[in-house]
Chain A
C-alpha cells in the first residue's frame, strides 16, 4: 500500500529564456505536513501551479492517488483532491461566508439552481469540520484576514480535499492567528489530509512541518526530515552559501545630539505617547506583533497617515509632517513593506523610477527637468547600488527580483535621507538579497544616517540593530539597550505578554 499521495517525477518547465523547473522529483505522503521552501526565483510558485493543474509542465509526470498523469488539468487536480489556496485567498468580498464556502462544490456538481438551505448546510458542515464558529450570513469583506483564511480552508474541504496547498498563508496573521491556523492543519492531518505549505519563514518550517523540500534555481535540492536540520543547514541548502551573521555594533563614544527625536507622538486608536530618539549611525529596531501599532508609527513618521499630536524633531528643530512630501523634504525616507507593489512603477523605466522622488532637484532655471542632471543622477545611483541592467530606459519589470530590490533602495537613497525607515525590509526577500540589504543598511549607518528598522522577525532586529524598542498595544513597553543581553525567546515573551495587553 503506497504511502505516497502525490509523486512528482522528473518535472521540467521552461518559460522563454528561463528554466523554471529542472527535472524536479518530489513526494508527499498521505496525512503529511510538508513544507516547500526556496528563494525567490527558485520555482516554488511554478511547482505548485503544476500540481494544481494550472500550469502544464514540459516534461515529467505526476502520480496522484496511484494514477499516472502526463498532464494535469485543473479539473483533474480537483477531482483527485488537490486544493490550492492562493495567497490572495480568492474569496468573493461581496458574498456571504456560506456562499463563498459552498459555491465551488455546487458548481462542480453542475447545479443550475440555488438551494439556499443546501448552501448553508454545506457551509456549516465544513466550518464544523475545522471546529470554527463564524457567522455564515456575514459578508466576507467584513471579516478579519484570519477568518478569511479559515473560510478558504473550509471551502477547500467541501470538495473532498486530500491535499491542501497553501501559498504563504501566514504573511498577514498575528501570532495567535498563526497558532490557530497550525492547529487546524494538525487537525486535518489527523483526518488524513496532507498539507503542502509554501513559506519563506524558516521558523515556521521547523514549527509545523515534518518534511521540507528545498528548491534552488529550479532544481530540487532534496527532501529532508525537519528534525534532521537546523536553521544554518537549511539556509545553506537553500542558497548554497554560508551566510555570515554578525551583530551590528554601534560606537557609543560617538554620541552626539540626537538626529531625530520623537516626543509624545500619538494617533487616535493607533498608538499613544511614543517617545524615542535615534542618533547618527544608530540602527534602532522597533518590533512588536502585528497590530501593535508599529507599522502605523512608521507611516506617521513618514507622513502617510500623520499623527494627531506630539512632536517630531530633526536635528533639534521641530518639523511638521502632514504628508509624504513634508517627510521627504525633512530628510525622512521610507522603504515600504511590499517593496515591489508599493515601491516600483513596474512598467516604467528604471530612470523614471529613480527620479520620481527627487524631481525638484533636477529642475533647471525654467522649471523643466534637465536631461543632463537626470542622466547623471540615474547613473550614479545605478552604479552605487550595482543594479544590473543593460539599459536604464528598460522597464523595471525587466530586472531580476534581487535587482528590483536594489532599485527600490536606490530610489530612496537618491533623496539623501538623513533618517531612513525600513518597514519589514527583508520580508519575502531571498536569503542572499537579505544579506545584501543588511550590508547596505549598515554601510549607510556607518556613514552617518540614522536607521529605523521595523520588523516582526526578532532575529533580524537583534542582529542588525544596536537598540530595540518593543511595542504592544500602541505603546512602547520595553527598550532593549544591549542586544547581546537578550535571547529571541525573551523578547518574544515580552511582546506577547498578556499583562502587556491589560496593564498598558
Chain B
C-alpha cells in the first residue's frame, strides 16, 4: 500500500518537473479530475467483481448500452427549447433508466454466473457481445449527441471549482469503501472470492452474494455512463473500449488479487490517480493513441511480473516462525 502511495507522489513530482509549467496548471488538474471519474467508477466496478473471485469484461459494454438508451431519451423526448421542470423530469428519467438498465445487465451477469455455473470470464465475454450488440443494433453504429445543457452539468459542471464528476466519484468511492468493509454483504464478497466452499459452510449464500456483486458492478457501470455522456455530450457504441484494459491495469496495480478475496478501494483509487497522472502527461507530450495503447499493455504486464517477484519474496519470508501446516496432509507442496 505504501509503495503505491510513494509511486503516486513520485510520479506526480516527476511529471511536474519534466513538464514545467504545463503539468501543474490548475486547468490541467481540473481536466484530469473531470476525466478520471467515469473511468474511476469503472475501475471500482472491476475491483468489486475481481474481489468476488471473478471478472467483469462487460462493464464497458454496459456503459455503452445504458449510455445509448439514456441518450435516446434525452434527445428524442426533449424537443429543443422545452421548459424547465418538464425537461428536468425527462433528464431524471434518463438517469433512472440508466440505473435500471445497468442493474438489469448486472443481474443477467450474476444469474448466468451463479445459477448456471458459467465461469465469469466466459459469461461476461458473452454478455459483452450481447450488450454491445444491442447498442449497435439500436443506433446502427452511429453516435447520438447534443444533450440539454442542464444535463451536462453532471459531467462538466463545477461546484466551487471542483469538477462535478469528481465529487460524484469521491462520494461513490466512500460509499463502496463502507459497503465492502463494513456491511455483511461486502465482507461476504471477500469471503466468497477467497474460498467459496468455506463460505458456504459458514452460512453464506454464495449465489445471492454473486448476483448482488454483479448487480453492483452493473450499477457502477451505469453511473459511469451517466457521467460519460454528460461530459462528452454524446454516446456512440464502442466508446471507451480502451477503458477495459485500463480498468484491469488499475485494479491489479491497486493490489487486487486476480484470483479473488483481496483488494481495497484505497489501493484502486491510488492506482487510478497514477494512471490519470500518466495519461495527462502523455496527452501533454502528444503521444499517439497507438503508443498509449502500447504503454498501457506494457504496464499491465510489467506490474504482473513485479507482483510475481514480490510474491516469491514474500513466500520465503512467510516461513519465518511458522510451523509447517500438516494437519491435513498436503500433497506435493
Return the CB mask of B290-333 against A: 1 if under 8 Å, else 0: 00000000000000000000000000101111111111111111
Return the CB mask of A314-341 against B: 1 if under 8 Å, else 0: 0000000001110110000010101111
| A324 nearest in chain B by CB position | B203
- Min distance, Cβ A414 to any Cβ of chain B, angstroms: 11
Q: Please indicate the chain B residues that have their CB under 8 angstroms from the CB of A357 in the complex.
A: 202-203
Flag whether B194 is at the interface (Cβ < 8 A).
yes
Give which listed residue, A45, A328, A345, A360, contacts B330 with CB less than 8 A: A45
CB pair A46–B328 under 8 Å, yes or no, is no
Name the segment of A13-21, A97-105, A111-119, A249-257 touching the other chain.
Answer: A13-21
Q: Footprint of B on A, CB under 8 Å?
A: 15-18, 20, 40-42, 44-46, 49, 54, 86-88, 90, 167-168, 198, 304, 323-325, 327-328, 334, 336, 338-348, 352, 355-357, 359-360, 363, 367-369, 397-398, 400-402, 404-405, 411, 428-430
In B183-232, which residues have CB < 8 Å from any A CB? Answer: 183-184, 187-188, 190-191, 194-195, 197-205
Task: Say whether, besides A359-B187, A369-B187, A401-B325, A324 and B319 are in contact (CB < 8 Å).
Answer: no
Q: Please indicate the chain B residues that have their CB under 8 angstroms from the CB of A41 in the complex.
A: 323-324, 326
- Report the separation of the CA atoms of residues A233 and B273 in the bound assembly, to the nearest whole angstrom: 66
Flag whether B263 is at the interface (Cβ < 8 A).
no
Q: Please indicate the chain B residues that have their CB under 8 angstroms from the CB of A336 in the complex.
A: 201
- Report the separation of the CA atoms of residues A406 and B201 in the bound assembly, to the nearest whole angstrom: 17
- Report the separation of the CA atoms of residues A315 and B320 in the bound assembly, to the nearest whole angstrom: 49
Q: Please indicate the chain B residues that have their CB under 8 angstroms from the CB of A360 in the complex.
A: 184
> Other than the known A16-B321, A45-B326, A325-B204, what 8 A-B pairs have Cβ atoms closer than 8 Å?
A54-B332, A167-B331, A334-B201, A340-B327, A348-B190, A402-B327, A405-B327, A428-B328
19 A-B residue pairs with Cβ-Cβ distance under 8 Å, sorted by A, are A16-B316, A18-B324, A41-B323, A44-B326, A45-B333, A90-B332, A168-B329, A325-B204, A339-B328, A343-B201, A345-B191, A345-B194, A348-B191, A348-B261, A352-B191, A357-B202, A359-B187, A369-B184, A401-B327
Task: Say whether, besides A41-B324, A198-B329, A343 and B198 are in contact (CB < 8 Å).
Answer: yes
Flag whether B182 is at the interface (Cβ < 8 A).
yes
CB pair A369–B183 under 8 Å, yes or no, is yes
- Report the separation of the CA atoms of residues A383 and B182 in the bound assembly, to the nearest whole angstrom: 25
Flag whether B178 is at the interface (Cβ < 8 A).
yes
Give which listed residue, B182, B191, B324, contacts A369 with CB less than 8 A: B182
CB pair B183–A367 under 8 Å, yes or no, is yes
- Report the separation of the CA atoms of residues A392 and B306 in the bound assembly, to the nearest whole angstrom: 29
Residue of A41, A86, A90, A356 with highest tally of chain B CB at under 10 A? A356
CB pair B323–A338 under 8 Å, yes or no, is no
| B326 nearest in chain A by CB position | A40
CB pair A359–B319 under 8 Å, yes or no, is no
Q: Please indicate the chain B residues that have their CB under 8 angstroms from the CB of A397 in the complex.
A: 318, 322, 325
CB pair A17–B319 under 8 Å, yes or no, is yes
CB pair B331–A428 under 8 Å, yes or no, is no
Task: Say whether, besides A16-B316, A18-B322, A369-B183, A428 and B329 are in contact (CB < 8 Å).
Answer: yes
Q: Please indicate the chain A residues that have their CB under 8 angstroms from the CB of B331 in the complex.
A: 86-88, 90, 167
Q: Please indicate the chain A residues that have their CB under 8 angstroms from the CB of B205 in the complex.
A: 323-325
- Report the separation of the CA atoms of residues A347 and B311 in the bound assembly, to the nearest whole angstrom: 13
- Report the separation of the CA atoms of residues A348 and B324 in the bound assembly, to the nearest whole angstrom: 18
CB pair A428–B327 under 8 Å, yes or no, is yes
Give which listed residue, A88, A334, A346, A368, contacts B183 with CB less than 8 A: A368
- Min distance, Cβ B87 to any Cβ of chain A, angstroms: 36
- Min distance, Cβ B19 to any Cβ of chain A, angstroms: 42
- Min distance, Cβ A153 to any Cβ of chain B, angstroms: 16
CB pair B201–A342 under 8 Å, yes or no, is yes
Q: Footprint of A on B, CB under 8 Å?
A: 178, 181-184, 187-188, 190-191, 194-195, 197-205, 261-262, 316, 318-333
- Report the separation of the CA atoms of residues A356 and B191 in the bound assembly, to the nearest whole angstrom: 8
Q: Please indicate the chain A residues that have their CB under 8 angstroms from the CB of B322 in the complex.
A: 17-18, 397-398, 400
CB pair B320–A16 under 8 Å, yes or no, is yes
- Min distance, Cβ B50 to any Cβ of chain A, angstroms: 15
**Lowest 4 A-B CB distances belong to which pairs?**
A86-B331, A401-B327, A368-B182, A359-B184
Q: Please indicate the chain B residues that have their CB under 8 angstroms from the CB of A340 in the complex.
A: 325, 327-328
Q: Please indicate the chain A residues that have their CB under 8 angstroms from the CB of B178 in the complex.
A: 368
- Min distance, Cβ A72 to any Cβ of chain B, angstroms: 16
Q: Please indicate the chain B residues that have their CB under 8 angstroms from the CB of A339 in the complex.
A: 327-328
- Min distance, Cβ B283 to any Cβ of chain A, angstroms: 40
Task: Say whether, besides A347-B261, A356-B199, A369-B183, A429 and B316 are in contact (CB < 8 Å).
Answer: no
Q: Please indicate the chain A residues that have their CB under 8 angstroms from the CB of B201 in the complex.
A: 304, 324, 334, 336, 342-343
Q: Please indicate the chain A residues that have their CB under 8 angstroms from the CB of B318 in the complex.
A: 397-398
- Report the separation of the CA atoms of residues A458 and B183 in the bound assembly, to the nearest whole angstrom: 44
- Report the separation of the CA atoms of residues A86 and B332 in the bound assembly, to the nearest whole angstrom: 7
| B319 nearest in chain A by CB position | A16
CB pair B328–A17 under 8 Å, yes or no, is no
- Min distance, Cβ A148 to any Cβ of chain B, angstroms: 14
Q: Please indicate the chain B residues that have their CB under 8 angstroms from the CB of A86 in the complex.
A: 331-332
Give which listed residue, A54, A341, A355, A401, contacts B326 with CB less than 8 A: A401
Task: Say whether, besides A17-B322, A324-B200, A369-B183, A348 and B329 are in contact (CB < 8 Å).
Answer: no
- Min distance, Cβ A154 to any Cβ of chain B, angstroms: 19
- Min distance, Cβ B104 to any Cβ of chain A, angstroms: 25
Q: Please indicate the chain A residues that have their CB under 8 angstroms from the CB of B194 in the complex.
A: 345, 347-348
Task: Say whether, besides A16-B319, A401-B325, A345 and B183 are in contact (CB < 8 Å).
Answer: no
| B185 nearest in chain A by CB position | A359
Q: Please indicate the chain B residues that have their CB under 8 angstroms from the CB of A42 in the complex.
A: 326
- Report the separation of the CA atoms of residues A40 and B330 in the bound assembly, to the nearest whole angstrom: 11
- Report the separation of the CA atoms of residues A21 and B203 in the bound assembly, to the nearest whole angstrom: 40
Give which listed residue, B187, B261, B320, B328, contacts A356 with CB less than 8 A: B187
CB pair A304–B323 under 8 Å, yes or no, is no
- Min distance, Cβ A343 to any Cβ of chain B, angstroms: 6
- Report the separation of the CA atoms of residues A368 and B198 in the bound assembly, to the nearest whole angstrom: 23
Task: Say whether, besides A341-B197, A344-B198, A369-B184, A429 and B327 are in contact (CB < 8 Å).
Answer: yes
Q: Please indicate the chain A residues that have their CB under 8 angstroms from the CB of B182 in the complex.
A: 368-369
CB pair A15–B203 under 8 Å, yes or no, is no
